């Protein structure tokens, strides 16, 4: 049975206590964060964490992010905490930054996908923070979607994927950011960006200087899987996604041309673009800023896919600010099918 707790209008700490009890009992609780919804369990309880993998259909070598609510928990999970980690935590926590550090022995291998490192973040969402505090446990939580589906930005998405399969879903309304956290590996020098996300690269570099970008962030070939998540197909809708990249005006022209060609061939087309409306079978306006596009991206993919179109044409945006995270997700969703305008 799944209990859905509605906290869209008001955070209710009495209800959070019910969810926290579930966590302590080794049960699964989906909850909102500022990035996307997470599917949480006690990070130190092997059995509970194993259930996350089963529920998602997630390969067990793809490690989870451990969520904390107090700075001292960082020292309870990481074997050593370099000064850089403390500086980043001071600047960006609570917030959409996940840091990878050597793990302590108390963190089970199932949580870290067999790795000797652990990914840690302090989310900037009252419900998430209060849930971690009330449970008294660090909470392991991947995005609350079935493996291979777009991450959930609304509780409805979690209900679609997990109703009846987990004990509790906390509905906190729409998330603020819409793409997952930025994952930064601090075990390398300089640190390595493993996944662009809700905290723009530019902001991190302003504090700690140049960082390396893992080649998988922009391309598809991964040799050494440092973030094993990179080797799996993500955000894959049933429709074929095609990303159109290049100069904005030319991209818009190209979308019109492709739309005409597909229509002639009787192929159903969905379009997600910034601003302009298109006479397609389905259309989602992504908004105009990188922030808006990030917030609307996963919902757009889910909606267009539900509409039953055969092809989704997606307008690419500039890779600055949240644009880097957006383009990383879009290209993955497209299986790297990219058209240059």
Interface residue list for ligand TXA (CB under 6 A): 33, 35-36, 38, 62-65, 98, 100, 112, 115, 117-119, 123, 141-143, 180-181, 183, 194-195, 226-229
By beta-carbon proximity to ligand TXA, the closer residue of 84 and 310 is 84
Q: Which of Mg ion, ligand TXA, none has residue 119 at its interface (CB below 5 to 8 Å by kind)?
A: ligand TXA
Minimum distance from CB of 295 to ligand TXA (Å)? 13
Round to whole Å and give the CA distance between 46 and 317: 41
By beta-carbon proximity to ligand TXA, the closer residue of 101 and 309 is 101
Q: Which of ligand TXA, Mg ion, none has residue 284 at its interface (CB below 5 to 8 Å by kind)?
A: none
By beta-carbon proximity to Mg ion, the closer residue of 63 and 138 is 63
Q: Which of ligand TXA, Mg ion, none has residue 181 at its interface (CB below 5 to 8 Å by kind)?
A: ligand TXA
By beta-carbon proximity to ligand TXA, the closer residue of 122 and 241 is 122
| CB contact set of 277 (below 8 Å; sequence gap of 6+) | 283, 285
Minimum distance from CB of 113 to Mg ion (Å)? 13
Minimum distance from CB of 120 to ligand TXA (Å)? 9
- Which residues contribute to the site for Mg ion (CB under 5 A)? 143
Strands 182-185 and 192-195, by their bridges, are: antiparallel
By beta-carbon proximity to ligand TXA, the closer residue of 73 and 98 is 98
Minimum distance from CB of 128 to ligand TXA (Å)? 8
Minimum distance from CB of 323 to ligand TXA (Å)? 17
By beta-carbon proximity to ligand TXA, the closer residue of 161 and 315 is 161
Q: Which of ligand TXA, Mg ion, none has residue 196 at its interface (CB below 5 to 8 Å by kind)?
A: none
Minimum distance from CB of 85 to ligand TXA (Å)? 14
Minimum distance from CB of 310 to Mg ion (Å)? 26
Q: Which residue has the tokens 């397609």?
A: 280
By beta-carbon proximity to Mg ion, the closer residue of 33 and 143 is 143
């Amino acid at each position: 049975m799944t209990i859905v707790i509605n906290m869209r209008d008001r955070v209710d700490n009495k209800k959070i206590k019910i969810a926290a009890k579930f966590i302590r009992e080794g049960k699964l609780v989906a909850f909102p964060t500022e990035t996307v919804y997470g599917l949480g369990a006690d990070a130190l309880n092997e059995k509970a964490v194993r259930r996350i993998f089963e529920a998602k259909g997630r390969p067990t070598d793809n490690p989870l992010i451990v969520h904390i609510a107090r700075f001292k928990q960082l020292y309870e999970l990481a074997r050593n905490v370099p000064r850089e980690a403390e500086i980043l935590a001071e600047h960006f926590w609570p917030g959409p930054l996940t840091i990878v550090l050597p793990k302590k022995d108390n963190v089970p291998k199932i949580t870290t996908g067999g790795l000797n490192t652990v990914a840690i973040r302090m989310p900037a969402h009252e419900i998430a923070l209060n849930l971690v505090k009330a449970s008294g446990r660090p909470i392991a939580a991947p995005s609350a979607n079935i493996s291979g589906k777009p991450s959930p930005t609304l509780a409805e998405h979690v209900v679609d994927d997990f109703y009846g399969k987990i004990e509790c879903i906390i509905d906190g309304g729409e998330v603020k950011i819409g793409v997952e956290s930025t994952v930064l590996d601090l075990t390398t020098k300089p640190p390595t960006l493993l996944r662009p996300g809700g905290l723009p690269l530019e902001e991190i570099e302003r504090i700690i200087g140049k960082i390396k970008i893992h080649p998988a962030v922009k391309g598809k070939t991964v040799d050494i899987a440092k973030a094993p998540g990179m080797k799996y197909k993500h955000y894959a809708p049933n429709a074929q996604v095609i990303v159109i990249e290049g100069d904005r005006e030319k991209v818009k022209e190209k979308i019109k041309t492709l739309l005409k060609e597909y229509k002639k061939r009787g192929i159903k087309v969905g379009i997600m673009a910034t601003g302009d409306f298109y006479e397609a079978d389905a259309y989602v306006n992504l908004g105009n800023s990188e922030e808006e596009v990030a917030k609307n991206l996963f919902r757009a993919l889910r909606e267009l896919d539900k509409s039953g179109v055969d092809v989704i044409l997606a307008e690419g945006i500039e890779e600055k600010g949240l644009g880097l995270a957006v383009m990383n997700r879009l290209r993955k969703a497209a299986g790297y099918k990219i058209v240059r305008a």
